[in-house]
Amino acid sequence: MRKNLNGVLLMGAMVMALLGCGSAFAAAEAPTTAMMATEVDMSTIYGTYDANGCILEYMVATSTGSDMISITDDYDTSYYYCFNADGNVLYFIDDYGMVLYLEYYGDRIVIKGERIQIHNGTYYKVSSEQEWIYGSYYQDLGEGGISAEIGFYSGTGEDYLHLIGSYYDAAGEFTGIIMYTEYGDMYAIDEYGQTVSIIYNGNSITITEDYAYSSRGLYFPGFKGTYQKIESFDMNNVS
């Protein structure tokens, strides 16, 4: 999201020693001087990329604060964690010591160096409207509805989810801080420890799990369901 690359771990040798990945790193092709372009704004790297249906998500791993990517193909999702960066070239490793590096060019990411080469290639960034999660959403319940708002607190940098709605005479409201797991999943947790799980679909969000039981009236159906985006926030509209 808006995070910068300060979280990137610049201790590649230590990581490789801990994970026993020296031989895997040797298999990664060394980048050439021509690839070391630094004119690209690296703060814009976060988001979703596509390579003929193979989806790459560039994000921050909450558990470590370092950058990570997930690559989803027709068979599986693979996760890689950044351990070094040099200009627009970033090095990643998975839990099994597999190393790859990527080059970032603003509108696309080029993956190179993966030993089995399944994910090598060029990934093009999805439109900014799709990758920008911040905004207001709405789910129609027929005899009522639920409004959702996702933004971030400028003071702390934390993302939040606010839900408020009604169904006949029952009402519900929930506000929680959004957490991101190391596998790219999202959930919001309120001050009482209640949680709801979130999937971001581009122009909508889906609440898949709802454990905010005390945040709603007796006959309120809960917060599960898909919410369509009705407005995107810009940086000046976020608290």
Q: Does domain 133-233 have CATH number 3.10.105.10?
A: no
Measure the CA–CA gap between 51 and 204, rounded to whole angstroms.
22
Going from the C-alpha of 34 to that of each of 92, 99, 169, the distances in angstroms are 20, 21, 65
Q: Give 28 or 163, the one with higher predicted confidence.
A: 163
Q: Give 73 or 115, the one with higher predicted confidence.
A: 73
User: Mean pLDDT for the chain?
Assistant: 77
**What is the Cβ-side half-sphere exposure of residue 5, based on CA atoms within 13 angstroms?**
21
User: Are the folds of 5-130 and 133-233 the same?
Assistant: yes
At 9, the pLDDT band (50, 70, 90 cuts) reads very low
What letter represents residue 78's amino acid? S
Residue 179 has pLDDT above 80, yes or no: yes
What letter represents residue 7's amino acid? G
Q: Where are the domains of the chain?
A: 5-130, 133-233
**32-68 residue pLDDT tens:** 434 444 467 887 888 888 887 788 888 887 667 788 8
Residue 141 has pLDDT above 50, yes or no: yes
At 162, the pLDDT band (50, 70, 90 cuts) reads very high
Q: How many CB atoms are closer than 10 A to CB 131?
A: 17
Q: Check residue 189 and give its pLDDT.
A: 95
Q: Check residue 155 and give its pLDDT.
A: 80
Which tokens in the block code for residue 29? 């092709």
The percent of residues in the chain predicted with pLDDT above 70, rounded, is: 76
At 7, the pLDDT band (50, 70, 90 cuts) reads very low
Among 63, 65, 52, 47, smallest CA distance to 10 is for: 65
**64-95 residue pLDDT tens:** 778 889 888 877 888 899 999 999 999 999 98
Residue 132 has pLDDT above 90, yes or no: no
Among 92, 69, 90, 120, smallest CA distance to 19 is for: 92
CATH number for the domain formed by residue range(s) 5-130: 2.40.128
Taken as a whole, the chain contains a residue count of 239
